[in-house]
């Protein structure tokens, strides 16, 4: 009797086991998927309209037409003559490019004061090879891979038939000389058109420390721009991490959020609407520079993969002092929005990156994006001589040490998504990293000795 009971119980257990096994195999369980590794190359903003090519961000900040007899005029982006000058450069061929030491201050002054020609001024030290790869400059032979271009002078000596290009670039003041085949009809038409434009004067002391200012007051269009808060912040934040399942999040008292995986961190500001990325490990590692990839290209690619751009932007290299012993490994870049051919200065429209040993150590961008611009009344800009007279009365700036002066729009704080743009003169004194800023209409000083902006209420 006892054995029969054991057999019945065993048979029942076997049947129950079979039923449970059948249920496990036949019924799909309900579960929530866990975060799989997410990589920066496939999780960022994928809309092609936010991507920018190197050619679109690497154009010169200004093109100076030297008309001879110490007469000059300046072309900025968005002007038809600027586009004609860029077409001229692209259709020219550079021959026999090589290093030169034959051009000192005397020869340089003759080129800019006496000989008709063009001067292309970039806002960054542009790798010549990258400009060539993107069709902006055509070299007929292989060039020095370390060749950079900050200013390019295109001219023809009176006693010669061939045109020359004097190329200045690099922190070591390295210069190159090339023979150039130029479309002469295009050049003649461009120089003739330049005679009808406002006259500019050259100020400064040397080849890489000069600037051009209008000799008389000139008209300038006022603008306001519409901004919009981005909607892809979470995907943007996630794109900075190799595996966002390993991240932790901290909420600050003001509502700002910090996300980190121990090696990287991202702070999303609740009040200033700024997203700041930091690679905390970049200073502790030795990053090998990939073959064929320059810092400028690396910065652009990183920004394209992490939010991209809205509006037209140009690349600007910030000249700042640094505590790193290897200063050649540190590069600070800004992608500045351009309006009416002038840069727009402001945190809400600028994408900033800092590279160390060719790796992105830091990035800052706004949650806002540019939508469109609205034109306003035309104002008269104070002339160069008037501006210099104001500068001479400043105890903060030394006119003899100024390295650059340029027009820009300063972005005011947005109201209901609309930010007014204020025309300003920006004065850079690079040796000691000083900057002055003045209202371009009234001459009012907008930057204090401590670097704070004034008069923007």
The tokens for 87 are 């077409």
Q: E strands along 141-281, which residues? A: 148-155, 163-169, 174-181, 200-206, 209-214, 218-229, 248-251, 257-260, 264-268, 274-279
The answer, as to whether pTM is greater than 0.75, is yes
Same domain, 169 and 241: no
The CATH number for 355's domain is 3.30.310.160
Same-domain status, 128 and 153: yes
- Say if residue 180 is in the same domain as residue 232: no
Domain match, 300 and 384 both = no
Contact at 8 Å (CB) between 177 and 137? no
* Total number of domains in the chain: 3
Residue 23 lies in a domain: no
Residue 4 lies in a domain: no
Q: Which helix (H) or strand (E) holds 93?
A: strand 93-99
Structural domain of residue 260, as residue ranges?
Answer: 226-367
**96 and 199 in a common domain:** yes
User: Considering 313, 337, 367, which residue would you say is the last residue of a domain?
Assistant: 367
Out of 315, 348, 367, pick the residue that ends a domain: 367
Among 305, 231, 355, which residue's Cα sits nearest to residue 39?
305
Tokens of 325: 């012993």
- Give the residue from 164, 188, 211 where a domain finishes: 211
State the burial class of residue 249 (Cβ atoms within 10 Å of its Cβ: 0-12, 13-18, 19+): exposed
Whether residue 165 sits in one domain with residue 296: no
Question: Tens of pLDDT along the chain (457 residues)?
Answer: 566 666 655 666 666 666 666 555 455 444 333 344 444 444 455 578 889 999 999 999 999 999 999 999 999 998 899 999 999 999 999 999 999 988 888 888 888 889 999 999 999 889 999 999 988 999 998 888 888 999 999 999 888 888 999 998 765 668 999 999 999 999 999 999 999 999 999 987 676 678 999 999 999 999 999 999 876 788 888 889 888 788 898 999 998 999 999 899 999 999 889 999 999 888 655 555 555 578 899 999 999 999 999 999 999 998 754 444 455 578 899 999 999 999 999 999 999 999 987 889 999 999 999 999 999 899 999 999 999 999 988 888 888 888 889 999 999 999 999 999 999 999 988 767 778 899 999 999 996 444 445 544 3
């Amino acid at each position: 009797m006892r054995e029969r009971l054991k057999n019945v119980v065993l048979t029942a257990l076997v049947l129950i086991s079979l039923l449970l096994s059948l249920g496990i195999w036949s019924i799909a369980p309900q579960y929530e998927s866990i975060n799989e590794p997410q990589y920066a190359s496939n999780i960022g903003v994928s809309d092609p309209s936010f991507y920018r090519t190197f050619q679109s961000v690497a154009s010169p900040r200004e093109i100076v037409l030297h008309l001879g007899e110490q007469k000059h005029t300046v072309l900025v982006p968005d002007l038809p003559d600027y586009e004609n000058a860029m077409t001229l450069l692209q259709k020219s061929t550079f021959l026999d490019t090589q290093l030169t030491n034959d051009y000192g201050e005397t020869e340089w002054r003759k080129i800019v004061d006496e000989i008709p020609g063009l001067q292309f001024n970039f806002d960054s030290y542009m790798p010549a090879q990258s400009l060539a790869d993107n069709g902006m400059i055509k070299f007929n032979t292989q060039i020095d891979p370390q060749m950079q271009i900050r200013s390019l002078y295109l001219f023809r000596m009176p006693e010669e038939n061939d045109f020359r290009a004097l190329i200045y670039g690099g922190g070591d003041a390295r210069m190159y000389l090339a023979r150039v085949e130029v479309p002469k009809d295009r050049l003649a038409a461009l120089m003739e058109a330049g005679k009808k434009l406002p006259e500019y004067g050259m100020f400064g002391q040397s080849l890489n420390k000069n600037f051009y200012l209008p000799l008389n007051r000139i008209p300038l269009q006022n603008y306001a721009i519409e901004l919009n808060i981005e909607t892809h912040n979470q995907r943007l934040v996630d794109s900075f991490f190799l595996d966002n399942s390993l991240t932790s999040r901290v909420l600050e008292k003001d509502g700002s959020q910090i996300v980190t995986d121990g090696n990287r961190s991202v702070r999303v500001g609740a009040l200033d609407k700024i997203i700041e990325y930091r690679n905390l490990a970049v200073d502790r590692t030795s990053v090998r520079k990939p073959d064929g990839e320059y810092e400028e290209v690396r910065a652009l690619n990183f920004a394209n993969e992490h939010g991209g751009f809205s509006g037209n932007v140009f690349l600007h290299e910030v000249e700042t002092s640094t505590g790193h012993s290897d200063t050649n490994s540190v590069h600070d870049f800004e992608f500045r929005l351009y309006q009416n051919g002038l840069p727009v200065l402001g945190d809400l429209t600028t994408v900033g990156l800092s590279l160390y040993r060719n790796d992105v150590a830091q990035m800052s961008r706004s949650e806002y994006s540019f939508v469109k611009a609205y034109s306003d009344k035309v104002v008269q800009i104070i002339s160069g001589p008037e501006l210099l007279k104001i500068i001479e009365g400043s105890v903060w700036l030394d006119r003899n040490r100024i390295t650059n002066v340029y027009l820009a729009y300063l972005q005011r704080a947005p109201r209901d998504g609309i930010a007014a743009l204020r025309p300003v003169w920006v004065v850079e004194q690079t040796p000691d990293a000083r900057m002055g800023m003045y209202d371009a209409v009234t001459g009012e000083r907008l930057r204090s000795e401590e670097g704070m902006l004034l008069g923007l209420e």
